[in-house]
């Protein structure tokens, strides 16, 4: 079976765990048409594929493997042919014929039987989708009309979605948690967090000390963080869109007194995110100072938000760069600064120009651009 089962590695959650007990696994097998070849038993782990046992097929294609194994995902491989199985310390029989990549058999435990059914279903559907994609490119190369191709592409898309829907139902319908894990490995965590979360609960309940459980939890935690960060970014982008009312900020000044951004209503305000350690920020400061000096008498001021962590360096930079306005704030949390998170700031300098009503009217104006905009609105 030429690499057809490599697809399960896409999940990258496969790392084996001890199932306990003193018995060994025993695999009595037969593989047609490959006599004299070496069959290798490989463990599918998170980072690599590890060969753990091997034997030579006799003249009838028979072999026997026996050793200790942690319960998990394994494959039997002969050259470029490979077959997946759920292995633990128990007795198994295996048979396969490379001429028919899906029609192999594994028996020994209820879990291994359920796993075999899962692999055959997934492999069959994937082969169908692959064939459909190949047919699409054949039709495209043959010069079929765009309408016809679009219709066929929609059919493929619908078939793919139907496949994912079936996987979702099988995740919760499987008796063996490892089989649920196999199914969910084809459902990306960021797209199907609920289904992945359900599998983690199953694994925690049935295999609390399993490396699979630990890897799933770790990966899920990372995805959750990414999803929360993306959600915060989306909210920040929406909240800082041109025309929206600026999010209020209320943070300590160098003297320790909090300064509210909303206290500056009635003035045109440049909310300027910067830091003492930021070279581009320091190079931009002369332009901000020039704008402040030119337009402060016409109702313009600056609300500077520092992403510093060292108060001494922050206050020293204020003095060195001549940032003479009073509105300087920082929570001294660096890139973890709350104001930066609220405004979705991921690089500095970052600037938001507010009108007298506190609405955002421009972003990231530099040098002459800032001067022209202020001249326009403060005539």
Could you tell me the pLDDT band of residue 86, with boundaries at 50, 70 and 90? very high
Q: What is the pLDDT of residue 240?
A: 87
Are residues 141 and 183 located together in one domain of the fold? yes
For residue 348, the domain's CATH number is 3.40.30.10
User: Is residue 62 predicted with pLDDT exceeding 50?
Assistant: yes
Are residues 202 and 234 located together in one domain of the fold? yes
**Is 17 contained in some domain?**
yes
Angle at which helix 279-295 crosses helix 368-377, to 10 degrees, equals 30
Tokens 């699979």 sit on residue: 212
Are residues 166 and 121 located together in one domain of the fold? yes
**Residues with Cβ < 8 Å from 223, sequence gap 6 or more?**
189, 190, 193, 196
Could you tell me the pLDDT band of residue 22, with boundaries at 50, 70 and 90? low
For residues 189 and 193, give the distance between their C-alpha atoms in angstroms, rounded to a whole number.
5
Sheet holding 25-31, edge to edge: 62-67, 25-31, 91-96, 105-107
For residues 185 and 231, give the distance between their C-alpha atoms in angstroms, rounded to a whole number.
24
Partners of 352 in the beta sheet? 271, 363
- Domain extent for 59: 1-239
Section 196-223 average pLDDT: 91
User: Is residue 6 predicted with pLDDT exceeding 80?
Assistant: no
pLDDT in tens, 137-164: 999 999 999 999 999 999 999 999 999 9
Are residues 193 and 268 located together in one domain of the fold? no
Are residues 188 and 154 located together in one domain of the fold? yes
Could you tell me the pLDDT band of residue 215, with boundaries at 50, 70 and 90? confident
Could you tell me the pLDDT band of residue 8, with boundaries at 50, 70 and 90? very low
Q: What is the pLDDT of residue 17?
A: 35
User: Is residue 18 predicted with pLDDT exceeding 60?
Assistant: no
**End residue of a domain, out of 185, 207, 239:** 239
Could you tell me the pLDDT band of residue 20, with boundaries at 50, 70 and 90? very low
Task: For residue 359, give the nearest of 255, 279, 251, 240 by alpha carbon.
Answer: 240
Q: What is the pLDDT of residue 48?
A: 78
Q: Are 264 and 249 in contact (CB under 8 A)?
A: no
**Residues with Cβ < 8 Å from 26, sequence gap 6 or more?**
64, 65, 66, 90, 91, 92
Are residues 201 and 80 located together in one domain of the fold? yes
**DSSP per-residue string spanning 39-88:** EEEEEE-SS-EEEEEEEE--TTSEEEEEE---BEEEEEEETTEEEEEEE-
> What is the CA angle 181-186-6, rounded to 5?
95
Are residues 228 and 285 located together in one domain of the fold? no
Are residues 180 and 79 located together in one domain of the fold? yes
Q: What is the pLDDT of residue 47?
A: 65
**Is 336 contained in some domain?**
yes
Tokens 């020039």 sit on residue: 290
Across the chain, mean pLDDT equals 90
Q: What is the pLDDT of residue 236?
A: 79
**End residue of a domain, out of 214, 239, 264:** 239
**Is 245 contained in some domain?**
no
For residues 216 and 230, give the distance between their C-alpha atoms in angstroms, rounded to a whole number.
21
Q: What is the pLDDT of residue 161?
A: 94
The pTM is what? Answer: 0.64
Q: Could you give the 3-state DSSP secondary structure of residue 340? A: helix
Report how many domains make up the chain: 2
Helix (H) or strand (E) holding 121: helix 110-141
Are residues 200 and 288 located together in one domain of the fold? no
**End residue of a domain, out of 177, 211, 239:** 239
Are residues 208 and 324 located together in one domain of the fold? no
**Is 28 contained in some domain?**
yes
Could you tell me the pLDDT band of residue 3, with boundaries at 50, 70 and 90? very low
Q: What is the pLDDT of residue 256?
A: 94
Are residues 190 and 255 located together in one domain of the fold? no
Q: What is the pLDDT of residue 109?
A: 95
**Is 244 contained in some domain?**
no
Could you tell me the pLDDT band of residue 327, with boundaries at 50, 70 and 90? very high
**Residues with Cβ < 8 Å from 7, sequence gap 6 or more?**
122, 123, 126, 186
Q: Could you give the 3-state DSSP secondary structure of residue 304? A: strand
Could you tell me the pLDDT band of residue 14, with boundaries at 50, 70 and 90? very low
């Amino acid at each position: 079976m030429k690499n057809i089962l490599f697809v399960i590695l896409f999940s990258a959650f496969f790392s084996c765990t001890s199932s306990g007990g003193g018995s060994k696994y025993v695999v009595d097998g037969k593989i047609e048409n490959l006599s004299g070849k070496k069959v290798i038993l490989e463990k599918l782990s998170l980072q690599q594929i590890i060969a753990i046992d091997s034997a030579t097929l006799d003249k009838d294609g028979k072999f026997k493997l026996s050793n200790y194994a942690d319960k998990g995902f394994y494959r039997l491989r002969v050259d470029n042919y490979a077959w997946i199985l759920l292995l633990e310390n128990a007795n198994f029989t295996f048979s396969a014929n490379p001429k028919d990549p899906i029609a192999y058999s594994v028996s020994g435990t209820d879990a291994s039987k359920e796993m075999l059914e899962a692999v055959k279903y997934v492999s069959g559907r994937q082969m169908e989708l692959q064939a459909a994609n190949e047919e699409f490119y054949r039709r495209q190369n043959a010069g079929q009309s765009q309408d016809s191709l679009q219709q066929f592409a929609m059919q493929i898309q619908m078939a793919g979605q139907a496949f994912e829907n079936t996987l979702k139902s099988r995740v919760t319908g499987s008796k063996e948690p490892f089989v649920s894990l196999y199914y969910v490995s084809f459902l990306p965590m960021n797209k199907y967090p609920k289904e992945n979360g359900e599998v983690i609960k199953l694994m925690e309940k049935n295999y609390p000390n399993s490396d699979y459980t630990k890897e799933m939890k770790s990966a899920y935690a990372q995805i959750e963080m990414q999803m929360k960060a993306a959600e915060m970014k989306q909210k920040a982008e929406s909240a800082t869109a041109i025309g929206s009312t600026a999010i209020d900020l209320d943070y300590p000044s160098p003297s320790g007194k909090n300064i509210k951004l909303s206290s500056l209503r009635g003035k045109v305000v440049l909310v300027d995110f910067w830091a003492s350690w930021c070279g581009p920020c320091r190079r931009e400061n002369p332009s901000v100072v020039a704008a402040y000096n030119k337009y402060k008498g016409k109702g313009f001021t600056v609300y500077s938000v520092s992403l510093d962590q060292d108060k001494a360096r922050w206050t020293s930079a204020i003095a060195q760069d001549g940032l003479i306005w009073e509105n300087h704030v920082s929570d001294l949390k660096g890139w973890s600064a709350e104001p930066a998170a609220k405004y979705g700031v991921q690089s500095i300098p970052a600037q938001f120009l507010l009108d007298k009503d506190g609405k955002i009217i421009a972003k990231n104006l530099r040098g002459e651009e800032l001067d022209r905009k202020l001249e326009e609105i403060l005539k």
